[in-house]
């Protein structure tokens, strides 16, 4: 990496180091009420964490909490530019450079400390990579690390990543998926036991907040690491409180029992938050997308599907769905109709991407042309006595998808398509989707900052993975391959957009909704900004002015 690229980071870095020095010089003494730092952020969440060992945590609450306790080598900045190195700012690594096209060298911040006081060293980084890749740990992040051959320690503060090949998102892959873990606390535990070790119940990290306590089913508390090497966070504490019911969570928020909620999908609940004098809605770009994928092959991936094998029928169905109405009904005016398997948080998003418009008349014409004719008895279509009927698999755990399915069902009925719903509980749903045992499936994805994940969903290569519908298009494959290799975002964008356009044109799926992402945050918090992929990424900079503090801010 050229120094010019690093300059802006260095200036910020010096400031941070300066702060850190100040913080470490000042003996931690009881703060007076008027002091600049202080405050408690109470986050309401509908689910408890499972395990606070980052490679193993599977639920969002775990990721949120681990995000504050642990740190990465470098942090993505808020525009989520995963391609250019300029999209990252230093964290545990205060700088990095590309030694050659497949070698990336990180220089650790010598002041970085684990919460137990032990310094963070290169060996920790290499150890962490090993843990994430260990088959016995079976981390779900390990596929994201496939392009990294190895990680080696050059000296105590220098760690080297070796890649199999050159590509623009090397820094992203090296830093984003893995949190650095404390080797000195974990290397005595057999890899197979790591996920279940006591560490996952009382983790020690190097992030801006240190773990305090966890009452199962009730809540988790972390407190500011006052001697953090990047400067202590403004807030004293962050607390997660589990409120399993969403409506109740919003009410608890309105009643002042909490300060923040990550997402409020329903319009009427957002209106209630808006009406509250204490709360503020902070919208941020959505990184979620939900879509109905058609199974192009027969059940269990055998043969060709009798309905969805036909591109025109798929197109008719897409045109028969009024996606805008679905989104309005589910989310109100703020909901978004996705342009493809992407979301506004990704840098490839564009409203200009080719899409099939809602056109029930054209849909009917297409179906007529393919021989699916309306029978007078009930207005449904059939061909040679076979009704135009299919089953949509969806998980009972997702309220939004169930609601959307009910809406789509009624819309398709209007063009003579009989869609049956098969709600399954999540484990069963996942099993059936992995077995490709379905006609159509209602998927939902939380997208990474990088668009490469799209390949898993619709690329031919992904057929082994989450491309459950077995969609295959050589045009799409070649366009995405070129996009991935494009050295800059400017070069990559048109390629991605074109690829998604082919997906739409082939009607691989009905891209139904992107839930609007709006956090509700109490007004007393200042400096609130939200990074769409990790809504708490900047929480260390949130603060509460002394005069606005509540009793719980103490």
Return all residues near 107 (Cβ < 8 A) that are at least 6 apart: 93, 94, 95, 96, 157, 158
Cα distance between residue 53 and residue 191, in whole Å: 13
77/409 with CB nearer other proteins: 409
DSSP letter (8 states) at residue 120: P
Please tell me whether residue 212 binds other proteins under the rule CB under 8 A. no
Report the site for other proteins in 178-207 (rule: CB under 8 A): 192, 195-196, 200-201
Our finding on whether 158 is near other proteins (CB under 8 A) is: no
Letters for 67-106 (x = contact with other proteins by CB under 8 A, - = none) are ----------------------------------------
Give the shortest CB-330-to-other proteins separation in angstroms.
8
Q: Of 12-20, 245-253, 354-362, 482-490, which part binds other proteins (CB under 8 A)?
A: 245-253
Contact (Cβ atoms closer than 8 angstroms) between residue 77 and residue 88: yes
What phi, psi does 82 have (nearest 5°)? -90, -10
d(CA 463, CA 59): 25
With H, G, I as helix, E, B as strand and everything else as coil, classify residue 524.
coil
By C-beta, is 23 or 69 nearer to other proteins? 69
Q: Is 291 helix (H, G, I), strand (E, B) or coil?
A: strand
Find tokens 């639920």 and name the residue: 59
Cβ contact 229:111 at 8 Å = yes
Q: How far is the CB of 418 from other proteins (least distance, A)?
A: 13
User: Of 266, 342, 480, 514, which lies in the binding site for other proteins, with binding defined by CB under 8 A?
Assistant: 266
Residue in this structure with the two tokens 């021989």, named with its chain if needed: 371
Degrees, nearest 5: CA angle 120-122-126: 115
Match 């890899």 to its residue by tokens. Answer: 191
Binding range to other proteins, per CB under 8 A, among 101-109, 132-140, 159-167, 527-535: 132-140
Considering the complex, state which of residue 226 and residue 466 has its C-beta at the smaller distance from other proteins: 466
Scan residues 301-360 and list those touching other proteins (CB under 8 A). 325-326, 328-329
**Length of the chain measured in residues:** 554
Q: Does 143 bind other proteins (CB under 8 A)?
A: yes
Nearer to other proteins, 137 or 316 (CB): 137
Contact between 237 and other proteins per CB under 8 A: yes
Contacting other proteins within 447-476 (CB under 8 A): 456, 465-466
| Least Cβ distance, residue 257 to other proteins (angstroms) | 6
CA quadruple 131, 134, 138, 141: dihedral positive or negative?
positive
Task: Tell me the C-alpha distance between 343 and 346, whole Å.
Answer: 6
Neighbouring C-alpha atoms within 13 Å toward the C-beta of 409: 16
Q: Is 270 in the site for other proteins (CB under 8 A)?
A: no
The residue within the footprint of other proteins, chosen from 285, 296, 407, 520 (CB under 8 A), is: 407
> What residues pair up with 89 in beta bridges, in sequence order?
75
Residues in contact with other proteins, shown as a per-residue x/- string from 55 to 74 under the rule CB under 8 A: -x-xxx--------------
> For residue 505, how many other CB atoms are within 10 A of its CB?
16
Task: Tell me the two tokens of residue 61.
Answer: 């609450």
The answer to the question of residue 152 lying near other proteins (CB under 8 A) is: no
| Residue range at the interface with other proteins (CB under 8 A); choices 106-114, 156-164, 310-318, 397-405 | 397-405
Query: Which of 24, 95, 103, 142 is the binder for other proteins (CB under 8 A)?
Result: 142
Residue 490 binds other proteins (CB under 8 A): no
23-62 residues in contact with other proteins (CB under 8 A) are 40, 42, 48, 50-51, 53, 56, 58-60
């Amino acid at each position: 990496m050229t120094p010019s690229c690093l300059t802006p980071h260095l200036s910020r870095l010096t400031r941070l180091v300066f702060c850190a020095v100040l913080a470490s010089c000042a003996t931690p003494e009881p703060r007076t009420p008027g002091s600049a730092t202080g405050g408690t952020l109470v986050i309401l969440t509908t689910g408890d964490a499972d395990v606070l060992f980052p490679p193993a945590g599977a639920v969002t609450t775990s990721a949120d909490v681990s995000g504050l306790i642990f740190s990465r080598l470098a942090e993505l900045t808020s525009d989520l530019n995963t391609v250019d190195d300029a999209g990252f700012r230093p964290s545990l690594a205060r700088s990095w450079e590309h030694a050659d096209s497949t070698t990336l060298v990180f220089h650790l911040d010598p002041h970085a400390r684990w919460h137990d006081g032990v310094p963070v060293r290169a060996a920790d980084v290499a150890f962490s990579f090993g843990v994430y890749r260990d088959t016995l740990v079976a981390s779900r992040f390990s596929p994201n690390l496939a392009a990294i051959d190895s990680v080696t320690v050059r000296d105590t503060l220098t760690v080297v990543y070796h890649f199999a090949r050159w590509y623009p998102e090397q820094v992203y892959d090296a830093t984003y998926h893995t949190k650095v873990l404390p080797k000195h606390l974990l290397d005595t535990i057999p890899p197979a036991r790591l996920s279940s070790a006591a560490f996952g119940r009382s983790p020690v990290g190097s992030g801006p907040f240190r773990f305090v306590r966890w009452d199962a089913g009730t809540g988790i508390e972390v407190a500011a690491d006052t001697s953090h090497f990047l400067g202590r966070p403004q807030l004293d504490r962050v607390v997660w409180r589990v409120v399993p019911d969403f409506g109740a969570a919003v009410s608890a928020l309105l009643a002042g029992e909490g300060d923040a909620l990550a997402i409020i999908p329903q319009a009427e609940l957002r209106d209630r938050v808006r009406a509250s004098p204490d709360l503020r809605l902070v919208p941020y770009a959505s990184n979620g997308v939900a879509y109905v994928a058609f199974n192009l092959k027969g059940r269990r991936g055998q043969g060709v599907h009798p309905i969805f094998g036909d591109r025109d029928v798929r197109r008719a169905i897409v045109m028969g769905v009024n996606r805008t109405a679905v989104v309005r009904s589910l989310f109100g005016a703020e909901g978004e109709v996705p342009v493809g398997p992407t979301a506004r948080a990704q840098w490839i998003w564009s409203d200009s991407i080719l899409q099939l418009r809602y056109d029930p008349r054209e849909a009917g014409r297409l179906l007529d042309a393919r021989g699916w004719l309306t029978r007078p008895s009930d207005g449904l279509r059939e061909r040679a006595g076979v009704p135009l009927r299919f089953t949509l698999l969806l998980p009972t755990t997702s309220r939004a998808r169930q609601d959307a399915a009910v809406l789509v069902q009624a819309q398709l009925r209007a063009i003579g398509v009989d869609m049956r719903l098969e709600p399954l509980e999540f484990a069963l749903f996942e099993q059936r989707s992995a077995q490709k045992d379905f006609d159509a499936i209602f998927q939902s994805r939380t997208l990474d900052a990088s668009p490469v994940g799209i390949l898993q969903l619709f690329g031919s290569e992904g057929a082994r993975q989450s491309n459950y519908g077995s969609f295959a298009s050589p045009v799409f494959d070649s366009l995405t391959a070129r996009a991935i290799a494009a050295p800059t975002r400017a070069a990559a964008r048109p390629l991605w957009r074109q690829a998604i356009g082919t997906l739409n044109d082939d009607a691989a799926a009905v891209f139904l909704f992107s839930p609007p992402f709006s956090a509700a945050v109490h007004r007393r918090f200042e400096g609130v900004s939200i990074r769409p992929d990790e809504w708490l990424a900047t929480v260390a900079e949130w603060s509460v002015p002394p005069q606005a503090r509540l009793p719980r801010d103490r």
